[in-house]
Structures are given as structure tokens and as C-alpha cells.
Amino acid sequence: MNHHSPVILDIAGTALTADDRRRLAHPLTGGLILFTRNWQHRAQLTALIAEIKAIREDLLVCIDHEGGRVQRLRTDGFTHLPPMRHYGERWMQDAMVATEAATAAGFVLASELRACGVDLSFTPVLDLDHGESSVIGDRAFHRDARVVTLLAKSVMHGLLLAGMANCGKHFPGHGFVKADSHVAVPVDKRSRKAILAEDAQPYAWLGGALASVMPAHVIYPKVDARPAGFSPVWLQDILRHQLGFEGAIFSDDLSMEGARFIEGRAVSATEAGVAALQAGCDLVLLCNQSQVEGGRPVDELLDGLMQAEAQGQWAPEPLSEQRRLALLPQTEPLPWDELMMSPAYQRALERLPG
């Protein structure tokens, strides 16, 4: 059987418990996602991640760290980065200054995270700022797909200079709908043609530069009855075949309200995970469940997926593991104190907005 570790899970606290260690060693675990509750200070986080990597060196340590209101680590020296809309506004004044600042932001974000051992931040947001979405809002660069693409590419270049991969989200676009998919399933009634001509354009233009993609927990009924992250039409026909994307596809959080109903039916996290993997996701996220009943939902997902695989309900896509491993940094990070002294970092800080 082809070894494949699709599950990205979370841990409850600032240190590993015996349960965390057991789950991280599970063959289906491919990594974890950190939240603010896992953070006290840099030394603690660095030690925590070192302990995680000692269990399995190839575990992918992820975080949502974009800037603005989505920035999990804000104290003990971490630079406060502006929301992405800031760069879109700067673009309107001076496009070159804006791209330079966006590259600096990507570099600072990634080099600070990597100094503590984090492998991947789920950034950049490629959603268009239609002025509608409560959950996206100032996380989007701009209304114009061309500006979004070039600013995102600038941020991605900064990440790359610090040795970090990237994750474009939320495919094919979360900016047009009002509802927040953490609590409901938003519906975008536009045609496939309209979405591809506009919101999905950054995914086409960024091509091979995108290392990973996270689909939107949004239903586009003119294209498919399932939310994009559970839709083979969106993930395979459109993203893989039509747009030629070859990187990793992450499901969004399986514990979100939006993942709990597929085609009108309430499903378990395991069923949602199987549906996401069948639809074409390489990796599935289950967030904030380690704190629920001692992490029972996490164990249920790991055991449930194991059983479902044994029963032939899903089979590892041969390239998935390769795609996951490709997200791990290929270079050694600079430790924090060295990073602070490095000219590239100091220059990047100067180029950030004051």
C-alpha cells in the first residue's frame, strides 16, 4: 500500500501531551496547524516544534499567518504586518513601491516563522475584494484580478527568498459571497464562465509558482452542488486539468460548519475527509478538535480514514505524498538572533510600511 499521510491536525496546548505524540506518530498524520493558543513565546514555540520534528522529521508544521487580523504570532519580536489590502491601496499610488513592500512582507513573515521552525503559512489570499465578504474583507489585495496576481506573486517571491512554499486561497474565489463559511455554507450563483473569467484568474496566471491551494467552503450551484473543496469538478476538471495546477490541494477545515453538510446531508468528519480525498484533495485539515472531549474527533478521523482506506472507500493518489513533501523547506533557516542581524532582513523591514 502506497504510504500517504493526508491529515493535518492540531494540538491543544503549548506543550505536547502523550495523546499529541500518539496522534503525530500516526501513519495518516502528515502535519499540524498551529494556533495562538499554542504560543507563549519564541523559545517555547521553537522547543515545541523541535519536539514535533523529533517524532517525525517530515511532519509539515503549518500556520495561518497572513498579516492584519489573521496573524497568529504577534508578540516577542514578531513584526506586525499590515493586512493585504494595504498593498492594493499602495499599488494605486505607486505600483513598484507596492510590489517591493509586498515582497518584503513575504520575506519577513516567512523568515520569522522559519526561525521558530514553522514550515508553511497559508498565504497569500487570492480572493478578489468585491466589498461583500465579511470573512475576507481587508485580507484581499484588490478588486482587480491582475493587481491581486502581481501583489500575491510579490509576496510569494518574498516567501521563496526565505525558503518557504505558499498556499493560494480560497479557490476559485471567496470574495463574492457575504456569508462566513465558518458558520454557514455561502452560495455563489455566478456561472462557471464568470468565475473563471475573474475570480479564478489568479490561479491560472500564477501557474507553476503556486505550491499549494486551499479551496473555498462555498457552493457554486451553476458548477456543482458540492462546496468546491468536495467537488471533483472544481478540483480535478477545472483546477488540475483546465488550469494545469500540479501542487498540493488542502481541504479547508473539516470541522467548519461548511464541511458538515455535503449535498444537504449532515456528515461526520470522517465522511467529509473521505469526500475531500475522493474529490481530489491531497491533504485534509481538522482544526481546533484536540480540545473537544480530549481530542476524540481527531482520533475518530484518523481511525475512520484508516478503516475507510482498508475498505477501499478512498485510495491514496500516488502523487499526494510527493506534493506534501515538496512543501517542506529545502534550506536551513537562519536562527532568530542571526536573522535579526542579517542585511536582507533589515532591508526588508525598511521596505515595510512604517
Residues noted as catalytic: 182, 252
**What CA–CA distance (Å, rounded) separates 339 from 209?**
25
The grid cell for 114 is 522559519
In DSSP notation, 244-255 reads ---SEEB---TT
Under a CB-based contact definition with an 8 Å cutoff, are residues 145 and 91 in contact? no
Under a CB-based contact definition with an 8 Å cutoff, are residues 27 and 279 in contact? no
Residue at grid coordinates 456561472: 191
The grid cell for 344 is 536582507
φ, ψ dihedrals at 167, nearest 5°: -140, 110
How many CB atoms are located within 10 Å of the residue 42 CB?
17
Greatest Cα-to-Cα distance within the chain, rounded to the nearest angstrom: 58
Under a CB-based contact definition with an 8 Å cutoff, are residues 28 and 8 in contact? no
Please give the radius of gyration of the chain, using alpha carbons only, rounded to the nearest integer: 19
**What CA–CA distance (Å, rounded) separates 290 from 286?**
9
Residue at grid coordinates 496573524: 71
Under a CB-based contact definition with an 8 Å cutoff, are residues 30 and 8 in contact? yes
CA distances from 32 to 118, 172, 224 (A): 10, 24, 30
Alpha helices in 162-212 (DSSP H): 192-197, 201-206
CA distances from 82 to 89, 238, 328 (A): 12, 33, 26
**What CA–CA distance (Å, rounded) separates 346 from 75?**
18
**What CA–CA distance (Å, rounded) separates 203 from 197?**
11
